[in-house]
Amino acid sequence: MARIPGLKVVRSKVEGYGVVATRGFRRGQVIANVEGVLWRSGERRDDRYSLVLDDGVFFDMVDQTRWVNHSCDPNVVVEAGVTRAGHGWAQLQALKPIRAGDELFYDYAFPPELKEKCRCGAKACRGWIVAK
């Protein structure tokens, strides 16, 4: 796994590991192009934190970005999809200015059947990690 410039995996103040910026990023800037594995329902069992790309199509982030934690008030968004050639892709983009030392968070937005209790601590915390 190649190291992504500008990011560092650390112990998170929220839970477990997290990812902090080692430099600043502007709002709208691409922070990282994500390495990952595209898979379909029935191919794997550990799918809890994979991105849902389509009905039964998932993308498992396998680089440092896999440690980005959830927040109900995220500072990054994950854009993802499948190319015409059938390859999965994802990238992190800054939703607001990010300074060196800031931990990165995106909204996991789990479907209701997979929701779990949220401990993000954001003022606008929904109480559950679930799609709005």
Sequence spans of domains, the chain: 7-129
Phi and psi at residue 96, in whole multiples of 5°? -150, 170
pTM of the model: 0.91
Q: How far is CA 36 from CA 2, 15, 88, in A?
A: 12, 23, 7
CA distance 45 to 17: 22
Query: Is 104 in contact with 19 (CB distance < 8 Å)?
Result: yes
pLDDT digit string, tens, across residues 20-54: 999 999 999 999 999 999 988 887 656 667 888 88
pLDDT digit string, tens, across residues 111-123: 898 899 999 999 9
> Phi/psi class of residue 86: alpha, beta or left (left: φ > 0; alpha: ψ in -120 to 50)?
left
H or E element that contains 11: strand 7-11
Q: 7-129 falls under which CATH superfamily?
A: SET domain (2.170.270.10)
Residue 10 has pLDDT above 90, yes or no: yes
Residues in CB range of 42: below 8 A, 6 or more apart? none
